[in-house]
Amino acid sequence: MQGFRKYGLLFLLLLSISSGYAQQTIQFSQYVFNGLAVNPAYAGYKEDWTASLSFRSQWVGIDGAPRTGTASFDGLTRNPNKKVGLGLVATTDRLGAQNTSSVYGNYAYRLQLDDEDTKRLSFGLGFGVTQYNLDGTKFNPTDPGDGVIPLGNQSKLTPDFRFGVYYYTPTFYLGASVMDLLSGLGKDTVTSDNYKVLRQVRHLYLTGGLMLPLSESLDLKPTFMLKEDFKGPTNLDLNAFLLINKTVWLGASYRTGVKLWKKNNLQKDLDQSDAISGIVEFYLTPRFRVGYSYDYTTSKLANYQQGSHEISVSISLPGKKERVLSPRYF
């Protein structure tokens, strides 16, 4: 019989709440500042070519807890009407002995909806591959030679694509996307030596936000993100940011589960609350941003870990003809 001393607590906790908050796609508290990670139609939104990096250490104190990093680069082609946006996003997500890495190329076609070019409707596609890797050396079996545990690294490479729609004005945005579209077409993902790995499932994202001016130096930006995987509870992120002098963002977020319809496979007594977050973003220059967030877990995991930390950086590159940056609040 197999047992795991290392990562044992992590896997028991994940199994006990798998129908609630078991992580499938990447989780970032600062998703508002890197929309390409959740919607391919976001490509080119900032118009200038922009590079973004994010790293998240989740559930600090639990051995093998998720460690997630993402890097993206997107902008507009030289089309005079700014109709085409391109982007590249790469992600790595480690959970215990498994590491999931993906790379997607993104294409967005942007429709101009008014003569002043203040409203755009964008349709995006993302094509890429995901590699699932299982490292057998991370396990510590009680029975040496257990055939269920791989002796070394096992991996599986699968193709995938995603689709999104994104509408925005200077003070409002609304987006919808479907990630991991091919995940529902196959059964369990297995390696060449027939070891099973946790496969990402199809996710639907709905995002939106407003920019509300309060004074000449203060603006309020409420946003939300609804995430649905059609298996566990629907997850909702509610965020509010204060923008001070167009330079400093101070924000808070609340993450919880919501019941939109009946799901018979879920436990009856699930705790819907997940986490609250504090977020700060600072623009060192109009083109260079750094951010930090801390999540305090409000679910049953609170007694086993010390929260989650996340840092992010983005920089916009000037074109051949330097111009004044148009405000991009989302």
pLDDT digits (tens, 9 = 90+) for 155-173: 888 899 999 999 999 999 9
**230 Cα distance to chain centroid:** 17
CA distance 213 to 221: 9
Q: Which amino acid is at 67?
A: R
Other beta carbons less than 10 A from residue 133's beta carbon: 18
Q: Are 291 and 282 in contact (CB under 8 A)?
A: yes
DSSP codes joined into one string, 13-49:
HHHHTTTTT---S---TTGGG-GGGT-GGGTTTTSS-
What is the structure's pLDDT at 153? 78
Beta bridge partners of residue 130, listed in sequence order: 102, 158
CA distance 312 to 89: 14
CA distance 255 to 272: 9
What is the structure's pLDDT at 174? 97
What is the structure's pLDDT at 325? 52
Q: Are 323 and 46 in contact (CB under 8 A)?
A: no
Number of residues in the chain: 330
Other beta carbons less than 10 A from residue 12's beta carbon: 12
What is the structure's pLDDT at 268? 66
CA distance 250 to 220: 10
Nearby residues of 191 by Cβ (< 8 Å), 6 or more positions away? 132, 134, 150, 154, 155, 156, 197
Q: Flag residues of the chain having pLDDT under 50.
A: 1-23
Token duo for residue 139: 């396990």
CA distance 300 to 1: 29
Nearby residues of 96 by Cβ (< 8 Å), 6 or more positions away? 7, 10, 11, 64, 138
What does pTM read for this prediction? 0.84
CA distance 283 to 309: 20
In eight-state DSSP terms, residue 265 is: T
What is the structure's pLDDT at 185? 56
What is the structure's pLDDT at 22? 41
φ, ψ at 32 (rounded to 5°): -60, -30
